């Protein structure tokens, strides 16, 4: 059985509940490209080198940011359950008050001068990554009346090829906003949705220092079923 049987494990391009899709989702069917003709499996390179504090978002300024200190860690695997080593993992997030350090974010919550909210790292030989950061706050958006996003950290992953490319969001356990969030709900399959929710992990938690959350990620492999066939 191929992954194509996991219907609903990826969100559709057009989703009424998420208003921005209405004028941005392509209206014509995507054209199926046979694997033999796709060159998305060719290696891509050229990242800027990773800096010393790039994976610790609490040490990028003169002082520590406000908020609950957390460790987010996990393993990046491909669909054949093999670790993806050397993958570029980039994250960005709002601060503890739910405000992004972005000119277009006008949510009236304070900016934190000691928090940028961006990090990057490379997976190790077991496909593992780790970030130290603070728990982001929920924030309002204008998709519908009284709309709030559940707290989340944005993840961008790049294995060695474009075929593996993934941008997603990691959520936190038991968030009361899940039921009201069209982005989370755009994924039809409940198991696929739950896999975007990190797990509180006492083994990752450091005594008298930081809460630990585990979040494993699965990237497409070379034998992958086309994305469009999974919606």
Partner 1 sequence: MSEDTLVATASQTVGPFFHFGLTATPYDRLVDHFSAGTPIRLTIRVTDGDDLPVTDAMVELSQAGMFGRMATDADGRCEFETVHPSPATGHDAARRAAHILVCVFARGLLRHLFTRIYFRGDPALDDDPVLQLVPEERRHTLVAFPGEILDAPWRFNLRLQGPDETVFFNV
What residues numbered 64-93 form the site for partner 1, per CB under 8 A?
77-81, 90-92
Closer residue to partner 1 (CB): 1 or 203 = 1
Q: Can residue 137 be called a binding residue for partner 1 (CB under 8 A)?
A: no
Catalytic residue chosen out of the listed positions 152, 193, 220, 230: 152
Q: Is 107 a catalytic residue?
A: no
**Rounded-to-integer distance, Cα 6 and Cα 15, Å:** 19
Q: Is 100 a catalytic residue?
A: yes
Q: Can residue 142 be called a binding residue for partner 1 (CB under 8 A)?
A: no
CB count, 10 Å around CB of 139?
20
Given candidates 16, 25, 110, 140, which one binds partner 1 under the rule CB under 8 A? 25
How many chain residues touch partner 1 (CB under 8 A)?
Answer: 83
Write out 199-224 in H/E/C secondary structure: EECCCCCECCCEEEEECCEEECCCCC
- Least distance (Å) from partner 1 to the CB of residue 85? 16
- State the sign of the Cα–Cα–Cα–Cα dihedral 130, 200, 133, 159: positive
Q: Can residue 199 be called a binding residue for partner 1 (CB under 8 A)?
A: no
Q: Which stretch binds partner 1 (CB under 8 A): 59-67, 124-132, 188-196, 197-205?
A: 188-196
CB 212 within 8 A of CB 202: yes
CB count, 10 Å around CB of 86?
13
Two structure tokens written together for 179: 């039921």
Q: Can residue 218 be called a binding residue for partner 1 (CB under 8 A)?
A: yes
**Rounded-to-integer distance, Cα 52 and Cα 208, Å:** 24
Q: Can residue 106 be called a binding residue for partner 1 (CB under 8 A)?
A: no
Closer residue to partner 1 (CB): 32 or 108 = 32
Q: So which residues are the catalytic ones?
A: 100, 139, 149, 152, 154
């Amino acid at each position: 059985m191929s992954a194509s049987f996991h219907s609903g494990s990826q969100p559709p391009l057009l989703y009424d509940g998420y208003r921005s899709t209405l004028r941005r989702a392509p209206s014509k069917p995507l054209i199926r490209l046979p694997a033999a003709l796709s060159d998305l499996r060719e290696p891509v390179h050229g990242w800027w080198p990773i800096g010393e504090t790039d994976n610790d978002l609490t040490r990028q300024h003169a002082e520590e940011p406000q908020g609950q200190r957390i460790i987010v860690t996990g393993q990046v695997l491909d669909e054949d359950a093999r670790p993806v080593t050397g993958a570029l993992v980039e994250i960005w997030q709002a601060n503890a008050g739910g405000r992004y350090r972005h000119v277009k974010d006008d949510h009236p919550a304070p900016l934190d001068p000691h928090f940028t909210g961006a990090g990057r790292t490379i997976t190790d030989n077991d496909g593992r990554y780790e970030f130290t950061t603070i728990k982001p706050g929920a924030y309002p958006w204008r998709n519908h009346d009284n709309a709030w996003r559940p707290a989340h950290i944005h993840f961008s992953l790049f294995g060695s090829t474009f075929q593996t490319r993934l941008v997603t969001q990691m959520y936190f356990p038991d968030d009361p906003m899940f039921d009201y969030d069209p982005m989370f709900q755009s994924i039809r399959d409940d198991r696929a949705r739950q896999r975007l929710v990190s797990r509180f992990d006492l083994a990752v938690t450091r005594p008298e220092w930081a809460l630990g959350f585990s979040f494993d990620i699965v990237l497409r492999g070379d034998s992958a079923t086309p994305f469009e066939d999974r919606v």
